[in-house]
Amino acid sequence: MTPEIRIFTNAALLAHAAAEEVVRIANEAVAARGKFTLALAGGSTPKALYSLLAGDSQLHAAMPWTKTHFFWGDERHVVPDHAESNFRMANETMLAHVPVPHEHIHRVRSEEPHAARAAEEYERTLRTVFGGEAMPRFDLILLGMGTDGHTASLFPNTSALLEKQHWVVANWVPKLNAWRVTFTAPLINNAANVLFLVAGGDKAEPLHAVLQGARQPEQYPSQLVQPTAGRLLWLVDVAAGQSVAPRP
C-alpha cells in the first residue's frame, strides 16, 4: 500500500484537512456499521485538530458524536489529570466540549501502578467494545511522529517494536526514563484508516528518512505502520515536508 502524502502551507490548513478526513470517515463508518471507532494521538500536533472538531460549528455539527467511541493509541504512565496525560489533552481540547456519551470514552487506566497491568486491562477493554477475540479493526487511528521517528509510543530500539501477538503493551522508554502504554504495530496495521499528522521543521529529516530512506524500523518505528488492508494518509506541513514529494 503506497501511502498518500499531502503537504499544506501551514499547520492550520493541515488541521482543517485532517478534521474533514475525520468527519468523512466517521460518517461512512456510522452509515455502514452504526458506530465510529477512533483512536486518538497524543502530543501537541493533534491539539489544533481536536479544538477544530469541537469548536468549528460546521465540523462540530457534522461529527456523529453520539455514535463515536474514543480510544487512545498510546498513553503516558501518569494519572489522567497529569499535565503529560494524552487523555487530559484530548479532554480539554475536545471531549469536554462535545456530546460524547461518557461510556464511549475509553481511556487507558494509566493511574494503575503497574504499566503492564494497565496495558492488559486496556486490551480487555478493546475486546469488550469490539466484541470478541478477533483483532479490532479501528475505523481510524490518528498518529503523530516524533523527531526520532517514533509513533504512538513505539520508540526506537524498544521492546514494543517486536510485539506480534498483543494489541496493547507497556513499553519502557529509556530515553524518557518512563513507562508508556501503546498500541502495537499489528493492531495499528489492522485499521481501516491510519492518518499521520506531522508539522514543524524539526520533523523534516526524520520524515524524509521514514518515507524515502532505507527501511530500518528499529531506528524509525513509524516505518512499521503499513496497514495490511487499510488506507495510510500522511498530512504534513511544508516545514516538515520540505524534503518529501507529495503523493496522491
Helix (H, G, I), strand (E, B) or coil at 76: strand
The residue range among 42-50, 183-191, 220-228, 230-238 that interacts with ligand 6PG, by the rule CB under 6 A, is 42-50
Residue showing the smallest CB distance to ligand 6PG in the complex: 144
Amino acid, single-letter form, for residue 61: A
Residues 6+ apart with CB under 8 A from 105: 70, 95
The residue range among 37-45, 131-139, 157-165, 214-222 that interacts with ligand 6PG, by the rule CB under 6 A, is 37-45
Q: Which three cell numbers stand for residue 4?
A: 498518500
Chain length of the chain = 248
- Give least dist CB 118 to ligand 6PG, A: 14
56 or 148: whose CB is closer to ligand 6PG? 148
- Give least dist CB 124 to ligand 6PG, A: 21
CA distance 149 to 172: 17
Count residues near ligand 6PG (CB under 6 A).
14
Give the contact letters, 89-128, x = binds to ligand 6PG (CB under 6 A), - = no: ----------------------------------------
The residue range among 60-68, 109-117, 138-146, 225-233 that interacts with ligand 6PG, by the rule CB under 6 A, is 138-146
What sign results for the dihedral spanned by CA atoms 81, 86, 91, 93? positive
- Give least dist CB 237 to ligand 6PG, A: 12
28 or 92: whose CB is closer to ligand 6PG? 92
Looking only at residues 140 through 199 of this chain, which bind ligand 6PG when binding is defined by CB under 6 A?
A: 144-146, 150-153
**Kind plus residue range of the DSSP H or E element containing 194:** strand 193-198
CA distance 38 to 223: 21
Q: Is 74 in the site for ligand 6PG (CB under 6 A)?
A: yes
CA distance 246 to 62: 28
Order the strands of the 74-76 sheet from edge to edge: 74-76, 178-183, 168-173
**8 A C-beta contact, residue 231 and residue 48:** no
Residue numbers of the site for ligand 6PG (CB under 6 A)? 41-45, 74, 86, 144-146, 150-153
